[in-house]
Amino acid sequence: MRTVDVEIRNPTGIHLRPASTLVRAAAGYRCAVTLQNVTSAGQAVNAKDALAVLSRGKAVKGDVVRITTDGEDEDAAIDGLQALIEGGLGETLA
């Protein structure tokens, strides 16, 4: 199991479009992936479930989220998802 904390950098946080980008990326890995907003002491949610990410995994710019991966490709998953979040989840960073 691996865990990393990452700051949300895109201006609009995790809303529909960035959540979809995150969920699609997470679904591409075989390992279990969870996302937790540690800034607001949120509940860890399945990062492959769009509804969970949008409802309980929401985060705004500046929030810190924790990605946890567990399984055979956990190293690739955590590295890829961390880079995706740090890159703005497909949105332009200000």
> What is the DSSP secondary structure assignment for residue 9, as one 8-state letter?
-
Q: Does residue 15 have an active-site annotation?
A: yes
The residue annotated as part of the active site, out of 15, 56, 61, 66, is: 15
In contact, 50 and 23? CB cutoff 8 Å: yes
Write the single-letter amino acid at 67.
Answer: I
**Between helices 16-27 and 74-86, what is the axis angle to 10°?**
160
CA-CA distance, 64 to 69, in Å (whole number)?
16
Q: Residues with catalytic annotation?
A: 15
